[in-house]
Amino acid sequence: MVNELKLDILGTSFAISADEDEAYLKKVLTQYHAAVKNTQKISGINEPLNIAILTGFLLCDEINKLKQQTECESSEVQNRTMNIIAALDQALKGCENG
């Protein structure tokens, strides 16, 4: 089901259509509004286009940092899993020999 969402950001209004739930789209829009306000606050920039560009850049930075964190955590989980499997193998071999 295609939902339409009206966007009103930095003085520009338009509508988008997406194959996402309306509640999800509104959640994303709320998050973007918060990101725009944060960008304005930390940068002091007042030009809408510059705010939008900087907000997009900061959000991409955040996404990449989260991906790196997830990859590190995934690697750590994989290492721990392999250590557990090795310990279980060793314990089972001890049971077979004993």
Task: Give tens-digit pLDDT for 3-24.
Answer: 888 988 889 998 989 898 889 9
pLDDT of residue 98: 62
d(CA 18, CA 51): 24
* More confident position, 57 or 2: 57
Q: Find which of 21-30, 47-56, 63-72 is predicted with most confidence, using mean pLDDT.
A: 47-56
Query: Global pTM?
Result: 0.68
Which residues have a Cβ under 8 Å from the Cβ of 3 and sit 6 or more positions away? 17, 18, 19, 20, 21, 22, 25
* More confident position, 22 or 36: 36
| pLDDT greater than 90 at residue 45 | yes
Longest distance between any two alpha carbons in the chain, whole Å: 77
